Amino acid sequence: MIAGAVLAMFTATSAGASQPYTEEVRAALELSYTPACTLCHRAGADAGDWIADTPFGKSMVARGLLSATQAERESSFTIDGGALDPTLVTALQRMRSDGVDSDGDGAEDVDELVWKSDPNTYDGLKPNSTPQVNYGCQVSRRSSTGASLVLACFGILLRASRRCAARTVRSAL
């Protein structure tokens, strides 16, 4: 019974520690869904170990996000007080203005959240790894270069055959 109460206490504490921020990310970005806690915290975090350790979470902390308890201590802000945490709003604004792409897939983190994608998961091409597409003038230049080479070879063969034919005519006279 005591073990169950302790487990319930840790479960409630760890879920409650992150839940307000997921709701606030939803509200701040006007998302149609609430992101999972794994947006900022690794999956399977130990009870009470809610460190922002995902690429997105680390990027948010680097841009000024404070933990809920730090934010409450350093300002008049109170989680669940109806207002958004100013450090979260500032961090999201900085993420947008800095064009942060934590997973390196070419899509900015804030855009990925709006698209219901995970900014911690690489799901695209690496920047500058787009396959070369040949179209328009580039193809014409390449094909004309090849055609020019073929025409030049044909011209050389034609000239050589005419010289040979002219020698044959001269020797016959």
- Per-residue pLDDT at 8: 35
Q: Judge if 110 and 62 occupy the same domain.
A: yes
Q: 10-residue block means of pLDDT along the chain (173 residues)?
A: 36 38 88 90 65 90 82 54 79 94 91 93 65 57 65 84 73 66
Q: What is the pLDDT of residue 51?
A: 82
* Secondary structure class of 50 (helix, strand, coil): coil
pLDDT for 10 equals 33
Q: By residue range, what is the domain housing residue 169?
A: 132-173
How far, in Å, CA of 74 to CA of 58, rounded? 20
pLDDT at residue number 118: 92
Given a contact cutoff of 8 angstroms between Cβ atoms, the answer to whether 39 and 57 are in contact is yes
pLDDT of residue 114: 93
In a domain, residue 110? The reply is yes
Residue 145 lies in a domain: yes
Number of domains in the chain: 2
Contact 83, 100 (CB under 8 A): no
95 plus 172 within the same structural domain: no
Is residue 73 located within the same domain as residue 151? no
Query: What pTM, to 2 d.p., does this model score?
Result: 0.57
- pLDDT for position 157: 86
Which of 71, 87, 114 is a domain's end point? 114
Question: Which residues make Cβ contacts (< 8 Å) with residue 23, sequence separation at least 6?
Answer: 34
Evaluate whether 75 touches 86 at the Cβ level (below 8 Å).
yes
